[in-house]
Amino acid sequence: MKKIMQTRRQVLQTLAFTGIAGAAVGKFPGMAYAADGGTLKIQFERELDSLDPGYFVGGSPPNDVNWAIMPALVLYSRDGGWTPSPHVESVVARDSTHIDFTLRKGMMWSNGFGEVTTEDVAYTYDREAVSEWKGDFVAYDHVEIKDKYSGTIVLNQPFAPFMNTTLASGTGIIICKKAVEAAGGKFTIEQPATCGPYMVTEYRQGQVLKLRPNPDWNGAKPAYANIDCLFVTEPSAAALAFEAGELDIAKISSEAYARYLKESPANSALTVAGALQYMWMGMNTDHPKLKDIRVRQAIQHAVDAASVVQGAYAGTAEQSYGVVCPGLVGRREKTGYSYDPSKAKALLDEAGVSGLKLTLRTLNNQERMLSAQIIQANLAAIGITVEIIPLDSGPFWNMGQESKGDTWKELELWIMRYGSGPDPYEPFQWFVKDQVGVWNWERWSSDEFEDLFAKGVAETDSEKRKEIYFRMQEIMEETGAYVFLTHEPEVFIHKSSLSPHFAPSGEMIVGAFNKV
Amino acid sequence: MWSYLSKRILLSVMIVFLAILALFITLHSIPGDPVSIALGPRATPEIQAEYAARMHLDKPLYHQFAIFIGNVARGDLGKDLFSNRSVLLILSEQLPFTIILAITAIGWSALIGIPLGCLSAVKPNSIVDRITGILSVGTIAIPSFLVSIWAILIFSVGLKWLPVIGAGEPGDIGDQIYHLILPAFAVGLGWVGYLARMVRASMLEVMSENYIRSAHAFGLKRRTIIFRYALKVAILPTITLIGVGFGALLSGTVFAEIIFSRPGIGKIIYNMVLARNFPVIQGAVLITIGMYVVVTLISDLLVSLLDPRVRDTL
Amino acid sequence: MSEIPFKARLIRLGSRTKKPDRTGVPFEKLILFSRNPMGVFGLILVLIVVISAVFAPIFATHNPFALDIANRLAEPSFDHFFGTDQLGRDTYTRVLYGGRVALQVAAIGVSVSLVIGLTLGMIAGYGPPWLDNILLLVFDAVRSFPTIVLALAAVALLGPSLSLVMTIVIITSIPGYARLARTSTLSLKNTEFILAGQSLGASMKRILLIHIMPNVIGPLLILAAMDVPVVVTIEAGLSFLGLGVQPPTASWGTILNEGYLIIRTTPWIVIAGGIPLILTTLGFTFLGESLRDVFDPRLRKGN
CA atoms within 13 A on the CB side of A206: 23
Q: Which residues of A fall within a CB distance of 8 Å from C263?
A: 236
Residue C21 pLDDT exceeds 60: no
Amino acid at B163: P
Pair A435, A442: CB distance under 8 Å:
no
Q: What pLDDT, on the 0 to 100 scale, is given for residue C77?
A: 87
pTM of the model as a whole: 0.81
Q: What pLDDT, on the 0 to 100 scale, is given for residue A278?
A: 92
Chain C, 41-70: which have a CB under 8 Å from a chain A CB?
Answer: 65, 67, 69-70
Q: What pLDDT, on the 0 to 100 scale, is given for residue A220?
A: 87
Q: What pLDDT, on the 0 to 100 scale, is given for residue B312?
A: 56
* Low-confidence residues of chain B: pLDDT under 50: 314
Give C301's pLDDT tier (boundaries 50, 70, 90).
very low
Across the interface, whether the CB atoms of C265 and A255 are under 8 A apart is answered yes
- The C-alpha of A188 sits at a distance from chain B's nearest C-alpha, in angstroms, of 5
- The C-alpha of C75 sits at a distance from chain B's nearest C-alpha, in angstroms, of 20
Q: What pLDDT, on the 0 to 100 scale, is given for residue A477?
A: 94
How far apart (Å, rounded) are the C-alpha atoms in residues A23 and A407?
Answer: 53
Q: Around Cβ C57, how many Cβ atoms within 10 Å?
A: 12
* Low-confidence residues of chain A: pLDDT under 70: 1-37
Domain at C37-295: CATH code: 1.10.3720.10
Q: What pLDDT, on the 0 to 100 scale, is given for residue C70?
A: 87
Candidate from A474-483, C8-17, C52-61, C252-261 with smallest mean pLDDT: C8-17
Q: What share of chain B is helix, strand, coil (3-state, %, to 5)?
A: 80, 0, 20
Closest to A310 (Cβ–Cβ): which among C65, C72, C262?
C72
| Helix, strand, or coil (residue A408) | helix
Q: What pLDDT, on the 0 to 100 scale, is given for residue A10?
A: 34
Residue range A318-335, pLDDT digits in tens:
999 999 998 888 899 999
Query: By the CB < 8 Å criterion, does B267 face chain A?
Result: yes
- The C-alpha of A264 sits at a distance from chain C's nearest C-alpha, in angstroms, of 12
For chain C, the domains span 37-295
Q: What are the φ and ψ backbone dihedral angles of A414, each rounded to 5 degrees? A: -155, 155
Across the interface, whether the CB atoms of A394 and B42 are under 8 A apart is answered yes
Amino acid at C205: K
Closest to C285 (Cβ–Cβ): which among B141, B241, B247?
B141
Q: What pLDDT, on the 0 to 100 scale, is given for residue C5?
A: 62
Query: By the CB < 8 Å criterion, does C157 face chain A?
Result: no
Interface test with C, best of A243, A268, A371, A373 (most C CBs within 10 A): A373
Closest to B83 (Cβ–Cβ): which among A188, A237, A405?
A188
How far apart (Å, rounded) are the C-alpha atoms in residues C23 and C43?
Answer: 26
Closest to A240 (Cβ–Cβ): which among B152, B167, B177?
B152
* Residue B293: C-alpha distances to residues B249, B250, B307, C140, C236 (Å): 14, 13, 21, 9, 27
Q: What pLDDT, on the 0 to 100 scale, is given for residue A31?
A: 33
Across the interface, whether the CB atoms of B285 and C137 are under 8 A apart is answered no
Across the interface, whether the CB atoms of C137 and B248 are under 8 A apart is answered no
* Buried residues in C136-168 as b, exposed as e (16+ CB within 10 A): bebbbbbbbbbbbbbbbbbbbbeebebebbbbb
Across the interface, whether the CB atoms of C265 and A235 are under 8 A apart is answered no
Q: What is the DSSP string of B79-148?
A: B-TTT--BHHHHHHHHHHHHHHHHHHHHHHHHHHHHHHHHHHHHSTTSHHHHHHHHHHHHHHHS-HHHHH
Sign of the four-CA dihedral A474, A475, A480, A482: negative
How far apart (Å, rounded) are the C-alpha atoms in residues A232 and A46?
Answer: 7
Q: What is the DSSP string of C114-132?
A: HHHHHHHHHHHHHS-HHHH
Interface predicted TM-score (ipTM): 0.77
Interface test with C, best of A359, A374, A392 (most C CBs within 10 A): A374
Across the interface, whether the CB atoms of C3 and B144 are under 8 A apart is answered yes
Q: What pLDDT, on the 0 to 100 scale, is given for residue A498?
A: 93
Q: What pLDDT, on the 0 to 100 scale, is given for residue C29?
A: 67
The three-point CA angle A458-A461-A465 to 5° equals 70
Cross-strand pairs, A273: A490
| Helix, strand, or coil (residue A87) | coil
Closest to A206 (Cβ–Cβ): which among B152, B175, B263?
B263
Residue range A141-197, pLDDT digits in tens:
999 999 999 999 999 887 777 887 788 888 899 999 999 999 888 888 889 999 999
Q: Which residues of A fall within a CB distance of 8 Å from B41?
A: 395, 398, 405, 407
